[in-house]
């Protein structure tokens, strides 16, 4: 039963209706809290139970001395790529509960949960008028099993499916789903969201406290378990000045990503403040908040203000709802107050006037490159790759090193922003007026984040010029940015495969890690939508858009980029005229019904899912196999071998790739042996653990320092050090009873909130990962799968300690060391004629994480709670 120690419960009239609220100002010191911590404080007040949340914790948060917080989001948000594994886990949990005589229906969400089907469509064809129809046909043909499974998921109470073709989850969240203030069952409270994608932070633009979590954390939240985390420091980012004419929101966010990544905000809450905030349109705030993971923060929160309310009205929210948001935010101290002096841990100043046109790449989103420096940057990257590759390039005709193979306007980061989308359309119109065309080797595509984009581009007369340059609609979903980029054009594929050409992608996305966009594309640059169009016209990232002509018009006159770039006034006029509330109301009418294809998907029956033994998309996951009601006794890890020795900035894309499954890969061989001819992508196969465990560490760009070259291979020391695929080696070690570890550098697990990066690690038999530092979500996911994250002490790493990966490792003292958070563990490494003993930090950061690790992961933990008749709690 919820307590009310601080007498914070009060009544508040919102839009002619009275609701109960927990007043934030009832706690002494709350007025000095940053906005994010105020929202956390309200969350604690609402869930005070004397156990998980205590009065002392509430007072400590207000005083700035709380170490760990138990956060209970008001809703969970998933997409199909991570959502299907969540559903398979829940289905497996239902099976396990039923097999012990329990009621499987008890395994259902206790808070509202939405899943958007937005990661399944791929740009199989592009640059043609029927591209959208063809890609949708492929999507439904290839995902029939998965979609029937999602229809079964709708049987779970409180679980809604946003059908395919609706758009990208984050843009839909921003435009439609996010209430900002929740009014439910007589209570009103801030909208808070845990989403299974790093870019859930996009909705921070509306003042909603939300961040990305792994699929396992999402399962916990929707089953009513609070998410425990170290209370993050809060960094205030003071925005001053104004953007120069022609500078886009994309240029701004790439500058912010570079600045904050260099400053160091990993694991922090970032709040934007300063005199320039009030002048930032909501769409620009959303572009910035979306790329929060790229600068490493947990959230990137903007305040609620007039701009917020204007956006809610623009996107069709009802007048009474807008009024309720305004009243609640002002009463609770969540309204933007320029004169406020929150208690920030750090402050950073960014002058918008200093922002210039830029891209980011060729491998990391925080590596901003000024537009005029792109040719040199690309040339240096090509030369670096040439030193690694053994293929000697021959004359490849038009498809030379640096050729733009993919030019994609894609991803919610930018397609949620009408200003950059209209700018792209106007640049295309101006280019066509001069007779310019896209280079023939460029695969161009347009994949908006919601159907509203297609509507206003059409109404503004900008769809036709985009189509004429090959930027035809290819789908409404997360496509090229997640690796659903489809095949390269034949000439490019031949140049790469036969002659070793080093080609590039330019996309308006948020991620450009190695191997993510396309297996055969080595250079990947993030850019604003109008620059994506410009690079499609030039056809090469070694072309200098600032000094060289973008092309020659029909009269033989050189055309410069400045000749085509639209004015801010022209962009603003079209946005004001064509981006209207009616566009959004029309797009979201009957939203959850879907089209005729979705309605025709058969609905599954039964409280338990009927697994098909022959399915290559859906297999019951093994995480509860052999789990009993007894928590296993802790034991030291002895005689472990290194499965992979990795450097710094290893991403979850390296650990668990999302792109196409190569025929010769371990997963490809597995599927081919089953008779599959269309292997598809790892993202589409995440409901099949057999595929995903074979995809563990299988990214062709992974550099394992234990093996030569690139790719997911490693020496198998049970076979005398023979170099084999990592999955094959793991199987050999499992047969021999040898535990495994992974050793890595800094920023291990950077990237998307990909639960399979941790799941595959666990299923490969890896007991611990020893790294210099971890990305927040992946570290938590490892703990939740029963894998122990260990961190080198300051100043230490594998090289400094003399480790070469051939050692045998003992991890000792685990029984006593892992009872409390952040304890130390002793490591003994030895190889013939050499031995070393050193201490490392066990990154179990909260008391609850020590519990999860002791259980062997959260699924065994939750299963045992169900066996004991316990279940999670409701949101209020």
pLDDT at position 396 is 46
Residue 319: helix, strand or coil by DSSP? helix
Q: Shortest CA distance to 229 belongs to which of 238, 220, 237, 239?
A: 220
Residues 349 and 425 in one domain: no
Residues 23 and 86 in one domain: no
The neighbour count for residue 605, using CB atoms within 10 Å, is: 9
Residue 531 belongs to a domain: yes
Please report how many Cα atoms fall inside a 13 Å half-sphere around the Cα of residue 843, on the Cβ side: 25
| Count of domains for the chain | 4
Q: Provide the sign of the torsion angle of the four alpha carbons 371, 377, 382, 385, taken in this order.
A: negative
Residue 507 belongs to a domain: yes
Residues 232 and 370 in one domain: no
The CA distance from 866 to 856, in Å, is: 16
Sheet holding 187-190, edge to edge: 9-14, 17-22, 187-190, 181-184
The CA distance from 826 to 850, in Å, is: 17
Residue 632 belongs to a domain: no
Separation of first and last alpha carbons in the chain: 10
Average of pLDDT values for 234-243?
Answer: 97
Q: Kind and range of the H or E element at 349?
A: strand 346-351
Check if the beta carbon of residue 217 is closer than 8 Å to that of residue 76: no
The CA distance from 134 to 147, in Å, is: 18
pLDDT at position 875 is 59
Residues 297 and 371 in one domain: no
End of a domain among 337, 354, 371? 354
| Domain membership of residue 51 as a residue range | 9-66
The CA distance from 468 to 812, in Å, is: 65
Q: Quick check: 12 pLDDT over 90? A: yes
Stretch among 277-281, 439-443, 514-518 having the lowest mean pLDDT: 514-518
Selected residue with higher pLDDT from 754 and 360: 360
Stretch among 16-25, 313-322, 396-405, 837-846 having the lowest mean pLDDT: 396-405
pLDDT at position 751 is 78
Residues 734 and 772 in one domain: yes
User: What tens digit of pLDDT does each residue of 746-773 get?
Assistant: 999 987 767 899 999 999 999 999 999 9
Which long-range contacts (C-beta less than 8 Å, at least 24 apart) are formed by 224-227? 224/110, 224/111, 224/871, 224/872, 224/873, 224/874, 225/862, 225/872, 226/47, 226/52, 226/53, 226/70, 226/71, 226/72, 227/70, 227/71, 227/72, 227/73, 227/194
Residue in this structure with the two tokens 């966010």, named with its chain if needed: 253
User: What tens digit of pLDDT does each residue of 399-434 get?
Assistant: 999 999 999 999 899 999 999 999 999 999 999 999
Check if the beta carbon of residue 307 is closer than 8 Å to that of residue 576: no
Average of pLDDT values for 170-187?
Answer: 97
DSSP symbol at 365:
T
Residues 47 and 138 in one domain: no
φ/ψ region of 429 (left if φ > 0, alpha if ψ in -120 to 50, else beta) reads alpha
- If pLDDT is split at 50, 70 and 90, which confidence band does 711 have? confident
- If pLDDT is split at 50, 70 and 90, which confidence band does 701 have? confident
Q: Shortest CA distance to 455 belongs to which of 551, 583, 337, 336?
A: 583
Q: Shortest CA distance to 37 belongs to which of 212, 230, 232, 193?
A: 232
- If pLDDT is split at 50, 70 and 90, which confidence band does 18 have? very high
pTM of structure: 0.90
Stretch among 340-344, 384-388, 872-876 having the lowest mean pLDDT: 872-876
Residues 339 and 380 in one domain: no
Stretch among 449-453, 464-468, 548-552, 707-711 having the lowest mean pLDDT: 707-711
Check if the beta carbon of residue 577 is closer than 8 Å to that of residue 460: yes
Average of pLDDT values for 86-114?
Answer: 94
Chain center to CA of 34: 25
Check if the beta carbon of residue 742 is closer than 8 Å to that of residue 644: yes
Percent of the chain at pLDDT > 90 equals: 88
Q: Shortest CA distance to 391 belongs to which of 514, 494, 238?
A: 494
Check if the beta carbon of residue 185 is closer than 8 Å to that of residue 2: no
Residues 308 and 349 in one domain: yes
Token readout for 723 is 């170099």
Q: Quick check: 126 pLDDT over 80? A: yes
Whole-Å CA distances, 626 to 95, 447, 622, 786: 13, 44, 9, 15
User: What tens digit of pLDDT does each residue of 380-406 get?
Assistant: 999 999 876 655 445 445 799 999 999
Residue 593 belongs to a domain: no
User: What tens digit of pLDDT does each residue of 496-542 get?
Assistant: 998 899 999 999 999 898 888 998 999 999 999 999 999 999 999 99
The CA distance from 683 to 658, in Å, is: 5
Residue 395 belongs to a domain: yes
Q: Shortest CA distance to 689 belongs to which of 85, 80, 91?
A: 85
End of a domain among 289, 320, 354? 354
Backbone phi, then psi, for 812, in 5-degree steps? Answer: -120, 160
**What is the rounded (10 degree) CA torsion for 88, 92, 93, 99?**
160
Check if the beta carbon of residue 487 is closer than 8 Å to that of residue 514: no
Residues 229 and 107 in one domain: yes
φ/ψ region of 470 (left if φ > 0, alpha if ψ in -120 to 50, else beta) reads left
Residues 24 and 91 in one domain: no
Q: Quick check: 575 pLDDT over 90? A: yes
End of a domain among 587, 603, 619? 587
Q: Quick check: 710 pLDDT over 90? A: no
What does pLDDT average to over the chain? 94
Residue 566 belongs to a domain: yes
Q: Quick check: 605 pLDDT over 50? A: yes
Please report how many Cα atoms fall inside a 13 Å half-sphere around the Cα of residue 89, on the Cβ side: 26
CATH number at residue 535: 3.30.499.10
pLDDT at position 873 is 57
Residues 394 and 343 in one domain: no
Q: Quick check: 187 pLDDT over 60? A: yes
CATH number at residue 834: 3.20.19.10
Residues 439 and 575 in one domain: yes
Residue 202 belongs to a domain: yes
Residue 785 belongs to a domain: yes
């Amino acid at each position: 039963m919820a307590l009310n120690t601080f007498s914070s419960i009060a009544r508040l009239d919102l839009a002619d209706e009275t609701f109960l609220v927990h007043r934030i100002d009832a706690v002494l010191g709350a007025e000095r809290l940053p906005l994010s911590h105020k929202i956390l404080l309200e969350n604690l007040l609402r869930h005070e139970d004397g156990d998980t949340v205590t009065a002392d914790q509430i007072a400590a948060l207000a005083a700035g001395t709380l170490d760990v917080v138990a956060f209970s989001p008001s809703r969970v948000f998933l997409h199909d790529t991570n959502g299907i594994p969540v559903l398979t886990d829940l289905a497996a949990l239902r099976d396990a509960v039923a097999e012990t005589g329990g009621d499987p229906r008890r395994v259902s969400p206790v808070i509202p949960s939405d899943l958007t089907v937005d990661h399944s469509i791929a740009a199989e064809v592009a640059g043609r008028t029927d591209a959208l129809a063809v890609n949708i046909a492929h999507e439904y043909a290839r995902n029939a099993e998965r979609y029937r499974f999602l229809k079964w998921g709708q049987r779970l109470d409180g679980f809604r499916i946003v059908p395919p073709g609706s758009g990208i989850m984050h843009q839909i969240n921003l435009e439609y789903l996010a209430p900002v203030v929740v009014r439910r069952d007589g209570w009103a409270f801030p909208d808070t969201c845990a989403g299974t994608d790093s870019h859930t932070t996009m909705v921070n633009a509306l003042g909603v406290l939300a961040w990305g979590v792994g699929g396992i954390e999402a399962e916990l939240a929707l089953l009513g378990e609070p998410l425990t985390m170290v209370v993050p420091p809060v960094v205030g980012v003071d925005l001053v000045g104004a953007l120069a004419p022609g500078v886009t929101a994309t240029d701004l966010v790439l500058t912010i990503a570079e600045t904050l990544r260099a400053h160091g905000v990993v694991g922090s809450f970032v709040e934007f403040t300063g005199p320039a905030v009030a002048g930032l349109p909501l769409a620009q705030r959303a572009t910035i908040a979306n790329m929060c993971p790229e600068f490493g923060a947990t959230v990137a929160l903007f305040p609620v203000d007039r701009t917020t309310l204007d956006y809610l009205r623009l996107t069709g929210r009802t007048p009474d709802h807008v009024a309720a948001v305004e009243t609640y935010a002002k009463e609770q101290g969540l309204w933007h107050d320029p004169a406020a002096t929150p208690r920030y841990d750090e402050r950073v100043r960014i002058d918008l006037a200093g922002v210039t046109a830029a891209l980011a790449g060729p491998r990391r989103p925080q590596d901003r490159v000024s537009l005029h420096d792109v040719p040199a940057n690309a040339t240096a990257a090509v030369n670096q790759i040439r030193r690694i590759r053994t293929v000697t390039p021959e004359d490849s005709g038009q498809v030379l090193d640096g050729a733009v193979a993919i030019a994609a306007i894609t991803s919610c980061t930018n397609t949620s922003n009408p200003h950059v989308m209209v700018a792209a359309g106007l640049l295309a119109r101006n280019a066509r007026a001069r007779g310019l065309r896209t280079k023939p080797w460029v695969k161009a595509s347009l994949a908006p984040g919601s159907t509203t984009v297609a509507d206003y581009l059409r109404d503004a007369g900008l769809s036709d010029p985009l189509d004429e340059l090959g930027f035809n609609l290819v789908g409404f979903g997360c496509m090229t940015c997640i690796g659903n980029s489809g095949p390269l054009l034949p000439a490019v594929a031949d140049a790469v495969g036969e002659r070793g050409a080093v080609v590039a992608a330019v996309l308006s996305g948020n991620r450009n890690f190695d191997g993510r966009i396309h297996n055969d594309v080595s250079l990947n640059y993030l850019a604003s939508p109008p620059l994506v169009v410009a690079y499609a016209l030039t056809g090469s990232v070694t072309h200098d858009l600032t000094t060289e002509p973008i092309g020659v018009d029909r009269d033989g006159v050189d055309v410069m980029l400045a000749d085509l770039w639209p004015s801010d006034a022209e962009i603003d006029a079209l946005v004001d005229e064509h981006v209207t509330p009616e566009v959004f109301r029309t797009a979201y009418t009957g939203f959850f019904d879907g089209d005729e294809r979705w309605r025709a998907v058969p609905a599954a029956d039964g409280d338990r899912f009927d697994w098909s033994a022959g399915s290559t998309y859906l297999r019951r996951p093994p995480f509860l196999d052999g789990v009993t009601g007894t928590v296993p006794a802790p034991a030291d890890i002895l005689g472990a071998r290194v499965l992979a020795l990795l450097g710094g900035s290893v991403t979850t894309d390296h650990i668990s790739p999302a792109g196409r499954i190569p025929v010769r890969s371990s997963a490809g061989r597995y599927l081919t042996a089953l008779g599959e001819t269309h292997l598809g992508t790892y993202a589409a196969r995440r409901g099949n653990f057999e595929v995903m465990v074979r995809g563990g560490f299988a990214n062709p760009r992974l550099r394992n320092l234990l093996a030569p070259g690139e790719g997911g291979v490693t020496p198998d020391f049970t076979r005398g050090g023979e170099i084999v695929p990592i999955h094959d080696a793991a199987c050999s070690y499992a047969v021999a009873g040898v535990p495994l570890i992974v050793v890595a550098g800094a920023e291990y697990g950077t990237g998307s909130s990909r639960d399979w990066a941790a799941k595959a690690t666990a299923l490969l038999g890896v007991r611990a990962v020893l790294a210099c530092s971890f990305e927040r979500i992946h570290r938590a996911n490892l703990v939740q799968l029963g894998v122990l994250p260990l961190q080198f002490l300051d100043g230490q790493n594998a090289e400094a300690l003399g480790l070469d990966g051939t050692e045998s490792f003992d991890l000792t003292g685990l029984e006593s060391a892992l009872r409390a958070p952040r304890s130390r563990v002793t490591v003994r490494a030895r190889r013939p004629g050499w031995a070393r003993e050193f201490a490392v930090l066990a990154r179990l950061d909260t008391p609850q994480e020590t519990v999860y690790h002791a259980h062997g992961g959260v699924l065994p933990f939750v299963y045992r709670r169900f066996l004991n008749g316990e279940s999670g709690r409701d949101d209020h």
